Structure 1
Amino acid sequence: MLDLRRLRLLCEFARRGSIAATAAALGYTPSAVSQQLAALEREAGTALLDRTARSAELTDAGRRLALRAEDILNMVEAAEAELSAESGIPSGRVVVTAFPTAAVAFAPAIARSLADHSQLTFVLRQTGPGAGLAQVQSGEVDIALVDDWTGALAAQVPSTLQLIHLCRDPLVLVLPPWHPMADPDEPLDLRELRDEPWMAAPPGEPSRQAVDRLLETVPGGPTVAWEFEGLHTLLNLVARGIGIAAMPALALVGGGAPVAVRELPGLDIAREVYAVARAASVRRPSVAVTLRAIYAAAQDATPPARS
């Protein structure tokens, strides 16, 4: 009989493409992954990996089994969710991963919502860009909070995952409270801010790409003079008068820094924020109640627009 844990390893190997990447994703050593896949080959009675001294790839049989394994694991999880739904009591451990601004903005409201469920253990982790979907697929986490600046994510999510839209998070201009443009009655013209010291996240960060799009709209546009890791770091620097920045409005929730916030005139640069879970798991009471808490937290945390 084929071992379910080894089938999950095979699926992860199919997604990651190497034993080292599979081991890193699941927290195993490469030798442990290799041994478990070899054991799965013995159970299957055929070679699943074509190994060389430097690499390994799936054989035709390995690819076929990996596809079947995805279906098998989803069916097992759906069956477990149905059995769990019979009790209707949220219990057990639910692991959620989130990009940093969502983790900070949503955590207090989620914790308050779940406080009454004494049999539920809630774990919230932060993750880097692009990691959430893979972690949900691999079973590392139950729910991921992900953001999308491109508008293309919904079409890319496989049918085994369920995507729940939480909110739209616009890019806003953040200024020191004493800045002349901080006055909401003052018309905002970005051309007048060309010589200001602009700050942003490093290149490659999703929010930096949005800022670059913004600055490209300004004739003779300004350039980013300072780069700092972390939107809350930027927020505190703006509050101290070091410079100005454009950032997603969600970064202002729970930040505590005294800044002025202005909408960006005539521009629609924003990210969509989603929760994603395995479709087979959403009937489990623990996952369902956590998704409801996340959705409510997102509605409460979305800051009102200020001009």
Structure 2
Amino acid sequence: MDVRHLELLREFAVRGSVTAVARATHRTPSAVSQQLRTAQRELGVELVRPHGRGLRLTEAGELLARGGEDVAAAIAQVQDSLTGLLGSPAGSVDLLAFPSAATILFPGLAQHLDRAGIDLVLHDEDAAESRFADLTADHDVVVAHSLTGPVPEGSERCTVVPLGAEPLDVAMARTHPLAAREHLDARDLAGQSWIGVPEGFPFDRVLQAISVATGTSMRITQRLRDNRLVEAMVAGGEHLAILPRFTTAADGGVVLRPVAGVPTLRHLSALMRPDAAQRSAVRHVVRALRETAARAGLEQ
């Protein structure tokens, strides 16, 4: 059994298409297709079959793709043992976080790791909860968030390390009638006009929960990703929005109010492919992430 075939199937399972695998591994789609045919011939079993305009793994292909994950993790563990024998953790660690988490974590993390001998490469990208696990294919560590718990949707095949949790509050202009109240109930929010986020994002789930709790439809006038833009929209009008407590600007012209009766705690977690999680440099970064999150006041 050729380990390269297992790695190819593992990549296909993560990326879902020949084109995506080719792009990620710097090969042509025809070369990837040829390698899949070679793997099928040498293993004597069908690994992929046509599905729509593309291919999907068979049951045997799925089994071997999971085996590829195990093999990659075992190799990474041996490599890490050798690194430990030769000295302290070193190398490059590629870290991605969604923007509001990056605002909390990146400055302190970079300072913490300044003398660790680790080359930290930082990225920020916002995504729907179900997409964070996919991003681990191209990044060593992905900081994700979820309203339902520390294991985000779709991350079952990842190594998941909880980092903490942050409350989400209702944001409004200082002149809004609800700003006079220190606490809100879901019923106070029925019939209000909202600036939302794209569907599938954790903030949207708060609005869905309010809708269920009040038995009313949410009036969402716009759906935007950038929290600073949402702050500006809220500060300048009568709209409400869901924003994170720790990274919403105190002088941005909005006030935050907690809301009772619906889940509003978002969990932050570090996601990794199992082989990446074996690297001592990655583990060092994740430990530093947890320490930075605790210093920032995230609930542990």
Q: Tell me the TM-score normalized by structure 1.
A: 0.78
Q: Give how far 1:77 is off.
A: 1.0
CA–CA distance in structure 1, aligned partners of residues 184 and 272 of structure 2:
41
Aligned residue for 2:102, secondary structure, equals: helix
Q: Decide whether aligned partners of structure 1 residues 179 and 2 sit closer, same or farther in structure 2, where only a CA change above 3 A counts.
A: same
CA contact (8 A) 1:167 1:274 kept: yes
Q: 1:214 — aligned with what?
A: 210
Residue 298 of structure 1 corresponds to 293
User: Do the aligned partners of 2:96 and 2:143 also contact (CA within 8 Å) in 1?
Assistant: yes
Instruction: Provide the residue aligned with 2:270 in structure 1.
Output: 275
Are positions 1:148 and 2:143 aligned together? no
- Residues 115, 71 of structure 1: alpha-carbon distance in 2 compared, 3 angstrom cutoff: same
- Matching of residues 141-290 of structure 1 within 5 Å: 141-151=139-149, 153=151, 157-158=155-156, 161-183=158-180, 186=182, 188=184, 191-194=187-190, 196-218=192-214, 223-241=219-237, 243-252=239-248, 257-282=252-277, 284-290=279-285
**How far did 1:264 drift?**
0.9
CA, structure 1 residues 255+264, in 2 after alignment: closer, same or farther (shift >3 Å)?
same
Question: Aligned partners of 1:177, 1:264: CA distance in 2, in Å?
Answer: 17
Moved more, 210-219 or 165-174: 210-219
**3-state SS of the aligned residue for 1:274?**
strand
1: CA distance between counterparts of 2:290 and 2:276? Answer: 17
CA 37–250 in structure 1, closer or farther in 2 if over 3 Å, else same: farther
Is 2:74 aligned against 1:75?
yes
| Conserved 8 A contact 1:109-1:293 | no
Contact 1:97 1:144 in 2 (8 A): yes
Question: Secondary structure of the equivalent of 2:230?
Answer: helix
Name the SS for the 1:168 alignment partner. Answer: strand
Q: Is the 8 A contact 1:99 1:145 kept in 2?
A: yes
Q: Pairwise mapping of residues 46-61 of structure 1 onto structure 2 (< 5 A)?
A: 46=44, 49-50=47-48, 54-58=53-57
Q: CA deviation at 1:75?
A: 0.8
Aligned to 1:106: 105
* Structure 2 counterpart SS, 1:153: coil
Q: Give the distance between the partners of 1:66 and 1:164, measured in 2 at CA.
A: 23
8 Å contact kept, 1:171–1:247: yes
In structure 2, relative to structure 1, the CA distance for the partners of 1:101 and 1:26 (3 Å cut) is: farther
1:134 aligns with 2:130: no
Deviations 1:14-43 (A, max 9, x none): 34443234345656542342244345457x
Gaps of 5+ in 2: none
Q: Which amino acid in 2 is paired with 1:178?
A: T
Equivalence for 1:22: 21
1:86 deviates by 2.6
1:196 CA displacement: 4.1
Inter-CA distance 221–65: structure 2 relative to 1 (3 Å threshold): closer
Q: Could you tell me which residue of structure 2 aligns to residue 2 of structure 1? A: 2
Q: CA RMSD in A?
A: 3.5
TM-score (norm 2): 0.80
